[in-house]
A and B are shown apart, each in its own frame.
Chain A
Amino acid sequence: MALPKRQTDIGPPKYDQFLPPIIKKNYGKWKYHEELSGGTMVHVAESGDKLYTVRVASPRILSTETIREICDLSEKYCDGYLRFTTRNNVEFLVSDQSKVDPLVAELKQKKYLVGGIGDRVSNIVHTQGWVHCHSACTDASGLVKAIMDDLHEYFTTKELPNKVRLAVACCVNMCGAVHCSDIAVVAVHRKVPTINHELVPKVCEIPTTVASCPTSAIRPNPKDKSVIINEEKCMYCGNCFTVCPPIDIHKPEEDGVAIVVGGKVGSLRTDPKFSKLAIPFFYNEPPRWPKVVAAIRNILETYEKNAMKHERVGEWIERIGWESFFKLTGIEFTFQHIDDFTFARDTFRTSAAFKY
């Protein structure tokens, strides 16, 4: 069968053709919104019009079969209008209030989790992992599933002092905002990569490989037309592996994940923050990473118990001090916690005022 005629550089279709009539009418004229439950909210326009949103969880990896089911539901209850959130939830955009409860009922009957709105744990932003990435040193989807199976009540109903944004990155490339999340998992290597000296000259550009190292640990090895790694300087970022695959950074039995905490992106109350190291290492324990799941619950529950209303995880920790964070959570403080990289000097304490 002949293919249709291709077009180039047309860009995406214009957004307005996907907006429900109520949004077109009230575009930019929303007055306020109210949360109706953990997964439903209403936006009220200056005109008085009301738009109801029903949010459900998604594993981000979706089959066409599930997308079609979601589409069928949106056709049944909201004229086929739906959207996705920046955290990969699905939102049904309902303009007829009488259809909200039946939609929620059918979603629940079909085992969708309705939630993610307000001071709760929303969906975990995550990366491809073993499912589809060459540099993954853990499986992001599996970790997310295991963590959210444990925390699902914080998605659907239970409230926290403020929203808590979780993320999982399957390597230090951190596709997604892992470096500025309330609690995040990042997979890390711990051993100097192994070089395949036969392959390096065939597939790698030596100057690019040398330049890829942030700690200048790589130098050319003219004899083998390969490179040499200074083991003292290597901090296992894997950037050399990205530009030169025969430098293998993967060591399955020694790879694993770290947990970082206290980041945020909003400017509310305090400046946006990077996440900082809480726990330097757990071994990969597929399929359910039980120690990682337990550690995240511990941090979340300690925050829930101790933070003031509206404090994000990072704001709570800054108020009580990191020394108190380690005490309250019972997390061991190690050499790995003390920075020896780019930002190190800003992190050493320069005051005689601190707590025990």
Chain B
Amino acid sequence: MSGKYKTPMLDELEKGPWPSFVTEIKKAAKKSSMADDELGQLEKSYKTKRGYWKHGGIVGVLGYGGGVIGRYSSLPEEFPGIAHFHTVRINQTSGFFYTAKALKEICDIWDKYGSGLTNMHGSTGDLVLLGTTTENLEAIFAEYSSRGWDLGGSGSAMRTPSCCVGPGRCEWSNIDTLDITYTLTQEFQDELHRPAFPYKFKIKTAGCAVDCVAAIARADMSIIGTWKGNIQIDQAEVKKYADKGMNIQAEIIDMCPTNCMAYDGKTLKINDVECNRCMHCIAKMTKALRSGKEKGATILIGSKAPIVVGSLLSWVIVPFIKADAPYTELKELIRKIIGWWDDTAKPRERIGEVIESEGMRPFLEAIGVPPMPQQVKEPRKDPFFFWSESDFK
């Protein structure tokens, strides 16, 4: 099947030490004429400097409005194998944990019905199967769902939630990111599979402010683990860091953004009232410092990429919320947030954009969150502020 095309430009990208995606496509092309045609079309793109994919069409499986993204070559006569080359999003496991047995089963099904190419993983988090035909979709869904796998989100819907490794393998995690992500994914199955929102809505959960899942930059709702109470210090371990050559003054004390730490060569002191929980000291002295004992999450809303009026980072809405199973308070908050957005947004408006145009006050009032200084970097500078009837009491 393979080798239908000469690919001198792509062959250049098989050289060098970094693993080659071209080699991966060629491996798939040994078994799949779809992958071979993908290779042929890609070589053409490299020559002409443009892509040859049409916009996504509406394809899917019965009863779902998402999870499959239609993709068609704009050159179907030249590359018939990729006339249809749809993407199937399989909802990944929390924290991307797998067993070899499960992954091999996923591969076996995919080889039977698709190109044999995957993305491990897509940007939102899904296990992405790249390239199949419309007529195979129902069979693919039956095979995967009967083995316990479901489709992820696409279109104007709840998108597949994702998270960092969390308590699975990280000492910094303040919340159970894996369980929160699993529970919320189960809670919002209908919203995930049947797009009924103004636009996409992404939820990402990070165990601490290091934010290894980039929740604050690319999730409409960013759930970030935090704590209250004093950072726990093991002075003996502090000493070991110093003994091993760490310049505690320069690397820790001087880099603390709130100047709340002091070190006299023997004892490390933290003025916890001034600490803003940025994670620098804990991350650099992980054996010596642990976060405070009262755990919870900060809820931030609104981040997105630049289309169309500029990128947004998520804004703090709820500084501290308890995030323990069964997460009742968290689920209720999400329902209120989505409800307000759904009622207020124009088509294709992300929640951050709606808050920007409507103002923070209507949003906070709708979800029942009071104004707090933690929500802003600074109060307003202009004198143009609104008053509501409820303010005249």
CA A75 to CA B100, docked complex, whole Å: 7
Shortest beta-carbon distance, B202 to chain A, in Å? Answer: 11
**Interface: A104 (CB within 8 A):** no
Within A111-135, the residues touching B (CB, 8 Å) are 111-113, 125, 127-135
Q: Which of A58-66, A225-233, A321-329 contacts B (4 or more CB under 8 A)?
A: A58-66
Residues of chain A within 8 A (CB-CB) of B35 are 63
Interchain CB contact under 8 A, B217 and A212: no
CA A112 to CA B23, docked complex, whole Å: 13
Interchain CB contact under 8 A, A130 and B45: yes
Within B299-318, the residues touching A (CB, 8 Å) are 305-311, 313
Interface 0/1 of A10-40, CB less than 8 Å to B: 1111110111000100011011110000000
Of A28, A66, A128, which is in contact with the most chain B CB atoms at under 10 Å from its CB? A28
Within B280-325, the residues touching A (CB, 8 Å) are 280, 283-284, 286-287, 305-311, 313
Within B110-153, the residues touching A (CB, 8 Å) are 110-111, 116-121, 123-124, 130-131, 138-139, 141-143, 145-150
Residues of chain A within 8 A (CB-CB) of B309 are 214, 341-342
Within A125-156, the residues touching B (CB, 8 Å) are 125, 127-137, 139, 141-142, 144-146, 148-149, 152
**Interface: B266 (CB within 8 A):** no
Shortest beta-carbon distance, A13 to chain B, in Å? Answer: 5
Q: A12-B93, A134-B53 are in contact. Are A86 and B24 (CB under 8 A)?
A: no
CA A148 to CA B18, docked complex, whole Å: 6
Q: Which of B178-186, B327-335, B360-368 contacts A (4 or more CB under 8 A)?
A: B178-186
Pick the residue among B38, B97, B257, B310 that contacts A131 (CB under 8 A). Answer: B38
Residues of chain A within 8 A (CB-CB) of B358 are none
Interchain CB contact under 8 A, A175 and B171: no
Q: Which of A194-202, A280-288, A297-305, A348-356 contacts B (4 or more CB under 8 A)?
A: A280-288
CA A139 to CA B189, docked complex, whole Å: 34
Residues of chain A within 8 A (CB-CB) of B9 are 286-287
Q: A83-B96, A239-B307, A310-B280 are in contact. Are A71 and B120 (CB under 8 A)?
A: no
Q: A53-B169, A267-B211 are in contact. Are A12 and B92 (CB under 8 A)?
A: yes
Residues of chain A within 8 A (CB-CB) of B190 are 9
Interchain CB contact under 8 A, A74 and B100: yes
**Interface: A345 (CB within 8 A):** no
CA A321 to CA B20, docked complex, whole Å: 38
CA A135 to CA B54, docked complex, whole Å: 9
Residues of chain B within 8 A (CB-CB) of A234 are none
Interchain CB contact under 8 A, A134 and B54: yes
Interchain CB contact under 8 A, B116 and A63: yes
**Interface: A43 (CB within 8 A):** yes
Shortest beta-carbon distance, B231 to chain A, in Å? Answer: 14
Residues of chain A within 8 A (CB-CB) of B91 are 11-12
Shortest beta-carbon distance, B101 to chain A, in Å? Answer: 6
CA A21 to CA B184, docked complex, whole Å: 25
Shortest beta-carbon distance, A181 to chain B, in Å? Answer: 9
Closest A residue, CB atoms, query B27:
A63
**Interface: A223 (CB within 8 A):** no
**Interface: A222 (CB within 8 A):** no
Closest A residue, CB atoms, query B277:
A267
Interchain CB contact under 8 A, A131 and B63: no
**Interface: A102 (CB within 8 A):** no
Interchain CB contact under 8 A, B28 and A23: no
Interchain CB contact under 8 A, A18 and B211: no
**Interface: B350 (CB within 8 A):** no
Interchain CB contact under 8 A, B310 and A175: no
Pick the residue among B54, B64, B255 that contacts A310 (CB under 8 A). Answer: B255
**Interface: B216 (CB within 8 A):** yes
Residues of chain A within 8 A (CB-CB) of B311 are 174, 179-180, 274
Residues of chain A within 8 A (CB-CB) of B64 are 8
Shortest beta-carbon distance, B219 to chain A, in Å? Answer: 10
Residues of chain A within 8 A (CB-CB) of B93 are 12-13, 15, 18
Residues of chain B within 8 A (CB-CB) of A57 are 18-19
Interchain CB contact under 8 A, B279 and A63: no
The bracket for how many chain A residues form the interface is 35 or more
**Interface: B268 (CB within 8 A):** no
Residues of chain A within 8 A (CB-CB) of B307 are 172-174, 214, 237, 239
Closest A residue, CB atoms, query B279:
A268
Shortest beta-carbon distance, A200 to chain B, in Å? Answer: 14
Shortest beta-carbon distance, B304 to chain A, in Å? Answer: 9
CA A293 to CA B19, docked complex, whole Å: 17
Q: A139-B45, A266-B210 are in contact. Are A12 and B24 (CB under 8 A)?
A: no
Q: A145-B18, A310-B280 are in contact. Are A10 and B150 (CB under 8 A)?
A: yes
Residues of chain A within 8 A (CB-CB) of B124 are 175
CA A91 to CA B10, docked complex, whole Å: 28
Interchain CB contact under 8 A, B13 and A61: no
Interchain CB contact under 8 A, B117 and A4: no
Interchain CB contact under 8 A, A176 and B123: yes
Interchain CB contact under 8 A, B49 and A253: yes
Q: A112-B19, A134-B53 are in contact. Are A30 and B170 (CB under 8 A)?
A: yes
Closest B residue, CB atoms, query A45:
B171
Residues of chain A within 8 A (CB-CB) of B130 are 61, 131-132
**Interface: A159 (CB within 8 A):** no
Residues of chain B within 8 A (CB-CB) of A67 are 103-104, 106-107, 118, 120
**Interface: B12 (CB within 8 A):** yes
**Interface: A306 (CB within 8 A):** no
Return 25 A-B CB contacts under 8 Å, by A number: A4-B147, A9-B189, A10-B189, A12-B149, A15-B168, A18-B93, A23-B169, A59-B20, A61-B21, A64-B110, A80-B100, A83-B95, A84-B121, A90-B120, A132-B87, A134-B71, A169-B305, A175-B124, A214-B309, A245-B54, A265-B216, A267-B211, A268-B209, A272-B217, A274-B313
Interface on A for B, CB 8 Å cutoff?
A: 3-15, 17-19, 23, 27-28, 30-33, 43, 51, 53, 57-68, 70-72, 74-75, 80-86, 88, 90, 93, 111-113, 125, 127-137, 139, 141-142, 144-146, 148-149, 152, 169, 172-180, 208, 211-214, 237, 239, 242-243, 245, 250, 252-253, 255, 263, 265-270, 272, 274, 284, 286-288, 309-310, 341-343
Interface on B for A, CB 8 Å cutoff?
A: 9-10, 12-13, 15-22, 24-25, 27-28, 30, 35, 38, 42, 45-46, 48-56, 63-64, 71, 85, 87, 91-104, 106-107, 110-111, 116-121, 123-124, 130-131, 138-139, 141-143, 145-150, 162, 164-165, 167-171, 173, 176, 178-179, 182, 185-186, 189-190, 193, 209-218, 250-251, 255-257, 277-280, 283-284, 286-287, 305-311, 313, 346-348
Beyond the given A8-B193, A265-B216, A287-B12, please list 6 additional residue pairs across the A-B interface where CB-CB is below 8 A: A60-B121, A177-B214, A208-B347, A237-B308, A245-B55, A267-B277
